[in-house]
Chain A
């Protein structure tokens, strides 16, 4: 089949391009039409801007950390308070990244936009709750910023007691911010659960949903079940600080390890909130850009649910050296190994999807390939940490820092970027420069590895984490890591520039630039504010057989056999049996 020309006897079914009064970006004007919008797509765009700003701030803090660590005695912060500044910088970097960027990024920025459209629906189940979630995010963010500007925060994003109950910094402001952000997360999760449960179109059974929706659903379950525990924990922390209720601080007969149990009971499932949507993105990216049905759909779908559930059972692996009993410690190690299996299943299924496919090395595909490489390293190094004896050496060293950055940055961030590049034409109606996009993928890949691979060795050689200064023997690896971080930062900047430039000078995007088979590609790019006039007919989300590449317009179109609505031949007016004698 030659590419670029359509098979004969077929016609094209393509929604074309939206008019300005239909385009959700322009159908109503003015700042208030955005601030008070109920359109999930606009809310998604506002979230996208918000999380990008948060990422920018926390990313700059990260560069500050790496620059400071260029020298053993610290290069950036000097003088008496140098270590205090460093401690505040790494705390804010972690807290902003975790609470303001990674947890909301995929569900809120991409999920909000895509979930209703993938379901052929007009909006989410509770549009006002959706807007409320966004404003809760904004308020939570303001609390964090004010904690920064007040007496700072120096407890680490993990707020371990009794340091956090006795520190002079703005713990209450920051934990209040996290508490508010928790509600943003819970409401988003609730919204998605109800939307996916009740608003699937006729014909879209559970196993005919795009895998991005399975992933979103599993994530939402965790968001709704786990986040309240964090909320309560932070409230108890505030109560301990202000009223000395005696739960976490040994000075009032509390137990510091209890805090760790409460905290990690949320924060471990939280990391699955971070990675499951990323898995969902990758399933769609690999399938679409290999133009091949996803391999092992049911296994991938079930594995998302399995990860969501198993993720609640393993929190103790953050506390192997805290002094829990040997039995508890061993049980947590065993459970931790079980949760690694579903993730591995996904990786194998993605590779099998690529096998004998028709791969297009587009920007989203480059990011997806990057994800598989980097996430696999991150996941495999988790084995060293889940194994008890080796964790005795590696816990709280740079090995852990490298491990979680591989899964959170090499995993979630890379998948998020891949998703943004993949759905950008749909969201904004513009195509970006492919060369620039692929260059950004390469720079991010190279910069990221250069930053974090040396950190595994730093950790195994004994360099502890959260250190403002270090012994000179670790200098070379730290320097390598810092140069890598600058390259990574540059690559991310390239990605941002490529995307922003497309808004001004990008080509108009067709409805289906990549050849996807899910419902979001059946409306215009950008979608009309109502998404679909009537619920579209649901096909197989990973069946690409009726999608053809039309080279002339540089787009994929659905083809179907020619139909005649009004046949030329008029039917007979007399019944067939009219001539029979009986």
Chain B
């Protein structure tokens, strides 16, 4: 009975083509239990609310009298009644509490042998660590297997929320927090032609997850949100969860994103992928516009003025230093908020990024000055 409430026909009409739902799709072993409990509580609320609202309306209708008329009764207390309506609802409260606590304990107790994935949250993105140096913003897990997330934050409190799994846990700096879930619905893969068409249209720049509703590898996904306010881009600090049918499928994906395959990607192409996937694009543009960080356009090979007014040449060493120790040489006019990628990018990754940056710069040929806050643009 409770399950049908989830699919009540939408009463307001055509605006929403699909049926009205309270919840996103149930995609984990927690979901059915959680939704059932939600509806259990809701029906109890209805059980109390309807008589209360009914009394309000009925009493107004029946007992509204002209001014000056006295009340029909002045009974002021009825102790058995008071005790009844104080004690009887308590049984419902105990039921809610007990069922909720039991489910919670289950959701809190990480099962033995769960697959462990590291998660790092930072302003404003996610890095999922699959071990052996493979780090990617997307969370890929195996269906019907418990997955444990070992989570840490490098700056402020964030919170991982996957609505489809009904799972949420804060990611707190200075400690590790753990959560687990078991996905029981695998992600579909879209057809190759659909994927190819999307790849063609999504040339350059970040992959538009909202538009395509599948990842760059063609998997449909579940949303993963940050749900603890963390500053400017809190609302765009999103990622996706993809549930793989089989271990082979998952391994193949991990292999694909883990390391540059010289047969597939040139360093420049791999660097561009990293630029789009690893959070660089969120703060550094390649078209010259000023975002949270300096634009990469006309960056490599040119000079920048640091916060202490000294100049620095943007060469391979500077780029490497900025990736690993971002707060050491910050360009003047920008705030030192970049997180470090130490341990998350291999040497080959950094080489590839440098190679990519070379492709968006004239490096030195025009000796164009770097664009800072006060200078007008002199770039082509």
Contacts and interface: CB of A to CB of B under 8 A. Distances in A.
Interface stretch (B20-28, B111-119, B248-256): B20-28
Given A293-B76, A341-B86, A347-B52, A384 B41 contact: yes
B52 to A, nearest CB: 6
A389 B167 CA distance: 9
B177 interface: yes
A257 B335 CA distance: 26
Contact of B156 (A162, A293, A376, A395): A162
Contacts of B90: 341
Interface string A190-219: 000000000000000000000000000000
A359 interface: yes
B324 interface: no
Contact of B168 (A359, A393, A551): A393
B69 A469 contact: no
B34 interface: yes
B41 A387 contact: yes
Contacts of A351: 52, 55-56, 59
Interface string B257-287: 0000000000000000000000000000000
Contact of B161 (A255, A322, A464): A464
Interface in B340-369: none
B231 A154 contact: yes
A570 interface: no
Interface stretch (B91-99, B126-134, B188-196, B298-306): B91-99
A341 B101 contact: no
B172 A333 contact: no
A3 B73 CA distance: 17
B97 A387 contact: yes
A323 B89 contact: no
Interface in A256-273: 256-257
Nearest to A368: B56
A333 B100 contact: yes
B108 interface: yes
B37 A544 contact: no
A361 B89 CA distance: 30
Given A373-B56, A389-B107, A163 B230 contact: yes
B246 interface: no
Contacts of B103: 388-389
B37 A390 contact: yes
B201 interface: no
Nearest to B90: A341
Given A397-B227, A461-B23, A388 B100 contact: yes
Interface string B126-164: 000000000000000000000000000001110101011
B70 A544 contact: yes
A334 B161 CA distance: 24
Given A345-B86, A376-B49, A467-B235, A462 B156 contact: no
B173 interface: yes
Interface residues of B, number: 94
A446 interface: no
Interface stretch (A132-140, A230-238, A296-304, A307-315): A296-304
B87 to A, nearest CB: 9
B103 to A, nearest CB: 3
A122 B236 CA distance: 58
Contacts of B155: 162, 166
A83 interface: yes
Nearest to A168: B335
SS class, residues of chain B in contact with chain A: mixed
A83 B69 contact: no
A162, A464, A542 pick with most chain B CB within 10 angstroms: A464
Nearest to A469: B235
B72 interface: yes
Contacts of A27: none
B68 interface: yes
Given A163-B229, A345-B85, A329 B68 contact: no
A357 B163 contact: no
A291 interface: yes
B161 A462 contact: yes
B100 A323 contact: no
B17 to A, nearest CB: 11
B157 A163 contact: yes
Interface residues of A, number: 101
Interface string A372-397: 11001100110110111111110111
Given A163-B229, A380-B49, A296 B77 contact: yes
A472 B209 CA distance: 11
Given A358-B65, A464-B161, A348 B85 contact: yes
Contact of A1 (B68, B78, B289): B68
B64 A359 contact: yes
Interface in B167-183: 167-170, 172-175, 177
Contacts of B66: 3
A459 to B, nearest CB: 10
Interface in A286-343: 290-299, 321-323, 326, 329-330, 333-334, 337, 340-341
A435 interface: no
Interface in A1-26: 1-4
A295 B59 CA distance: 15
A83 B232 contact: yes
Given A321-B168, A393-B168, A462-B161, A383 B41 contact: yes
Contact of A358 (B42, B70, B157): B70
A167 interface: yes
A433 interface: no
Contacts of A464: 161, 225-227, 235
Contacts of B164: 462
Contact of B235 (A83, A160, A298): A83
Given A84-B232, A297-B77, A369-B56, A358 B163 contact: no
Interface in B284-321: 289-291
A534 interface: no
Contact of B234 (A256, A321, A397, A467): A467
A387 B104 CA distance: 9
Given A323-B175, A354-B59, 11 more contacts: A3-B66, A160-B229, A295-B76, A323-B170, A333-B101, A337-B96, A351-B52, A357-B71, A389-B104, A395-B227, A461-B163
11 contacts: A1-B68, A3-B69, A83-B234, A160-B156, A162-B173, A333-B100, A341-B86, A376-B49, A389-B100, A461-B21, A466-B234
Interface of A: 1-4, 80, 83-84, 87, 154, 156, 160-163, 166-168, 250-251, 253-257, 290-299, 321-323, 326, 329-330, 333-334, 337, 340-341, 344-345, 347-349, 351-352, 354-361, 369, 372-373, 376-377, 380-381, 383-384, 386-393, 395-397, 457, 460-462, 464-472, 476, 515, 542, 544-545, 548-549, 551
- Top 7 closest pairs, chain A to chain B, by CB: A3-B68, A250-B174, A462-B163, A549-B68, A389-B103, A387-B100, A388-B104
